[in-house]
Chains A and B, each alone.
Chain A
Amino acid sequence: MLKDQIEKHLLEVQKPSRYIGGEVGSIIKDKSKVELRFAFCFPDAYDIGMSHLGMKILYSLTNERENYWCERCFAPSEDFEAIMRENNIPLYALESLDPIKDFDFIGFTMQYELSYTNVLNMLDLAGIPIFAKDRTQELTQIVIAGGPCVCNPEPLADFFDIFVLGEGEEVNLELMDLYHEMKKNGASRDDYLRKAAQIEGVYVPKFYSFVYKDDGTIDHMEVSEGAPEIIRKRIIRDLDKVYYPENFVVPFTEIVQDRVSVEVLRGCIRGCRFCQAGFIYRPFREKHTDTICKEVKCLCENTGYDEVSLASLSTSDHSEIDPMLTKLLDYTVSERINLSLPSLRVDNFSESLLEKIKKVRKSGLTFAAEGGTQRLRDVINKNVSEEEIMNTCRIAFEGGYSSVKLYFMMGLPTETDEDIVGIAELANRIIDLFYSIENRPKGKGVQISISCATFVPKPFTPFQFEPQDTREMIEHKQELLLESVKTKKIKVSYHNPDVSQLEVILAKGDRRLCKAIYTAWKKGCKFDSWEEYFHFDRWFEAFRECGIDTAFYANRRFEYDEILPWDHLDYLVSKEFLIRENKTAHQSKTTPNCRLRCSGCGVNKKVGRECF
């Protein structure tokens, strides 16, 4: 048995409890009664993957079916991977400790571009052919992926049999049910894939091929085997009725998000033009306060967690936020549970909301201002005025806070040096504000942390057409920002521009990138999101060897009438809308949020109902 082999080496590695299962809440089934096995793989370390809410939902949902067994699988850290390779221990799932190569489905959730090489590494560790074309014709080992990154899955197209677009609660089971049925009848892999491609939200990349123009852009796409020309993402219509787990697997080792997490809404009304999540998760849908409270209570009782967080893109946009927090705090305070609220917006941060948060929060406040000047914030449609930022900081300072963290992006479309200097100036004005307040926290200095990410244009946003700044441009702006900050009360940190460049290439890439990803992995690239494992030189070599011009993807403006690698995927927002928004951005004009006025993104028409 694999268990003995694993245990023989487990004490040689860091945090061994990540590799042996047995956690409270993990689901064990009688193998002899199970007819379909699904390995839910997160292409990163346990500590990260176990924090992912989508996995918790789909894990429990699948296991509700008595004859289906969904298990968890993560990327082993370097130390354990070495032991696995040395001792021929294949990648296994944590519930049964069985090798995942024998499973019916191997499903990956693609949350960020920098996890792509980990998928290849995990398939290799599992002993599953890395390229879909090399897999057996037998109906087994179907390698599928979902998650936000599959809105442009082309750079991964050679490695997967199926991509699932949109929300998985319904379509995952439809795929499994079809498999279960066809397996009984002795169907082949291709038989299954042909039928699966007819399910809404299911994209089988091998039925699609691309012809390119001489300039490298796409000339046209060819579809075979009767697969649909356009693949539309799936959505759940009613969040109060959709399945939500009553229990989570509670890990022994500390994970990144070590708490109960309850989703309060999906989608976002804001339409910030850089934000992919704000567009691909439309339409905006809320859960009722009662449902949220019920789920919080149930999960806290079953898991024993004493901390709960509300998950969404913008929690304060929930229409019942005040009564919801009042009701939740009644419960959490009496049960000595901490309630944390990530994703708060600057503009509707009221005093009463702060009072509520203060009861439960000890840490500092974080605001995403994104742009240093009002002009630039208008370009990106971050509908936040300086007055609102100042007002929020004033409330926070008067409420006893003395440190504020501000998020900005660098390299945004139309950005000039003035916008960069504007970041430092904004921070200076916040410092002045602090000292102008009479009842500011006494005996403490003010601390402003500026965190600067490099802008990465993403598919399905109005900025999908935009080029990314070159490394030289970003370095110039970083230096300029450092020069503009003249006080120790402001701390500046920023991202490595090479990482952001790789992100944009993988985000906006096409099918020709598959071999570069493979080559980079062969050169030892994995865990690219971990600073200590990120080797841009190896990636650079891989791109060069594969004849990939990185500037073609990263630093080129994609034309409005160009066929984009993801144009055949329908995420409900129309391309016309994205073009319109792009033009509006270049006029430095804003678009009001969806509640104030419908901006005509096209989602309501396709869903067949008004959003509000």
Chain B
Amino acid sequence: MIRVRATFEKCGRAKYISHLDLNRCMLRTFRRSRLPIWYTEGFNPHPYYSFALALSLGFESSCEILDFNLNEDIPFDEIRDRLNAVMPEGMRIVKVAEQKQKITAITEAEYSFSLVSDDIDGIYEDIGRMLALPEILIEKKTKKGLKMVDIKPDINIKSCEKGDSSVNVVMRLPAGTQTNLNPTLFVESLKKFSNIRFEAEKIRRTGIFCADNEIFS
């Protein structure tokens, strides 16, 4: 048995595949590829595979992680090609490799998105003003009900630039098995803070990282 890690893109129309549906979709993709996927040994054997992080419905990604086991030792490139031959439109395996780090090593994910507005300068300024606040409180649903949480310490802006009709933002947010912060929470906070109308578009996960800025692989 070999353990492998596939990195895949989920773009275009594939962004409307929900996480639950993605599970079923991958199962069928494996079956179409006829790769010898390893089944769990138990009362109800099922093919074993898992996604490192869930991706919100409507987000694109260039760096989704899928772990699975195969019963035979097959070259990584062949695995990639056999899967790509039967993948749905918008989904493509970029790389198949061994599993270097544990899933639990993931600490951050990077996102890029565009804030489309008629008033780019205003949005750009409001982002700066909001980030200068002592705290950015949002309501977060927990098991015990709604709770106010300060997300400011979690927001790590990598770039923020004015484009032709949008402000383009790249930011890192906590991700992994412990905590996750969805970039839409930042967008909602900005919508509450700012009086300018804008829409967040082209939200895309662009990287998954471990501690010390190392790319997860």
Same complex: yes
* Chain B proximity of A6: nearest CB distance (Å): 10
Q: Is A604 an interface residue (CB 8 A)?
A: no
Give chain B interface residues in 1-53, CB to chain A under 8 Å.
12-14, 16-18, 21, 24-25, 27-32, 34, 39, 45
Chain B residue nearest to A258 in the complex (CB)? B24
Residue of A nearest to B13 (CB): A22
Q: Is the CB of B89 within 8 A of A22?
A: yes
Interface flag for A250 (CB, 8 Å): yes
A341 interfacial contact with B, CB 8 Å:
no
- Chain B at the A interface: SS class: helix
The chain B residue sitting closest to A21, CB to CB, is B13
State whether A24 touches B21 (Cβ < 8 A): no
**Nearest chain A CB to B188's CB is how many angstroms away?**
14
Among the listed B16, B25, B31, B34, which residue makes an inter-chain contact with A20, where contact means beta carbons less than 8 Å apart?
B16
Query: How distant is the Cα of A15 from the Cα of B17 in the complex, in angstroms?
Result: 9
State whether A303 touches B32 (Cβ < 8 A).
yes
Number of interface residues of B (CB under 8 A): 24
A21–B88 CA distance with the chains assembled, in angstroms: 11
Tell yes or no: B58 within 8 A of A by CB: yes
**Which chain B residues lie closer than 8 Å to A302 at the CB level?**
32
Q: How far is the CA of A250 from the CA of B27 in the complex (A)?
A: 12
Quick check: A305 and B12 within 8 Å, CB to CB? no
A304-B21 in contact (CB<8A): no
Establish whether residues B29 and A304, one from each chain, have CB atoms under 8 Å apart when the complex forms: yes
Evaluate contact between A11 and B57: CB separation under 8 angstroms: yes
A23–B21 Cα distance when bound, in Å, is 12
Contacts of B17 in A (CB 8 A): 17, 252
Which one of A16, A254, A304 contacts B31 once the chains associate, using CB atoms below 8 Å? Answer: A304
Q: Which parts of B109-141 form the interface with A (CB within 8 Å)?
A: none
Majority SS of interface residues in chain A? Answer: loop
B59: nearest chain-A partner, CB-CB: A11
Report yes or no: A11 in contact with B90, Cβ–Cβ below 8 A. no
Q: Does A10 contact B (CB under 8 A)?
A: yes
| A306 interface residue per 8 A CB criterion | yes
- Size of A's binding interface in residues, CB under 8 A: 22
- Is the CB of A301 closer than 8 A to any CB of chain B? yes
Residues of B near A11 (CB, < 8 A) are 57-58
Kindly state whether residue A336 has any CB partner on chain B within 8 Å. Answer: yes
Contact of A304 among B14, B27, B58 (CB under 8 A): B27
With A17-B21, A23-B88, A336-B45 as contacts: A10 and B28 at CB distance below 8 Å: no
State the CA gap A31–B34 with chains docked (Å): 33
B97 contacts the other chain (Cβ, under 8 Å)?
A: no
The listed residue (A15, A24, A254, A301) touching B88 by CB distance below 8 A is A24
Tell me which residues across on chain B come within 8 A of A253, comparing CB atoms. 18, 21
For A16, the chain B residues whose CB sits under 8 A away are 16, 57-58
Name the A residues within 8 Å of B181 (CB-CB).
Answer: none
Which residue of chain A lies nearest to B89 when distances are taken between CB atoms in the complex? A22
Task: Compute how far the CA of A336 lies from the CA of B18 in the bound complex, rounded to whole angstroms.
Answer: 25
Closest residue of chain A to B22 (Cβ to Cβ) is A252
B86 within 8 A of A: yes
- Taking beta carbons and an 8 Å cutoff, which residues of B are in contact with A? 12-14, 16-18, 21, 24-25, 27-32, 34, 39, 45, 57-58, 86, 88-90
Binding site for B on A (CB under 8 A): 10-11, 15-17, 20-24, 250, 252-254, 300-306, 336
Q: 4 smallest A-B Cβ distances: which pairs?
A: A304-B28, A22-B13, A304-B31, A304-B32
What are 24 inter-chain pairs, A to B, with CB distance below 8 A? A11-B57, A11-B58, A16-B57, A20-B13, A22-B13, A22-B14, A22-B88, A24-B25, A24-B88, A250-B28, A252-B17, A252-B18, A252-B21, A252-B88, A253-B18, A253-B21, A301-B34, A303-B28, A303-B32, A304-B29, A304-B30, A304-B32, A304-B86, A306-B28
Given contacts A254-B24, A301-B34, A304-B31, 11 further A-B contacts (CB under 8 A): A15-B18, A16-B58, A17-B17, A17-B21, A20-B13, A24-B28, A300-B31, A304-B30, A305-B28, A306-B28, A336-B45
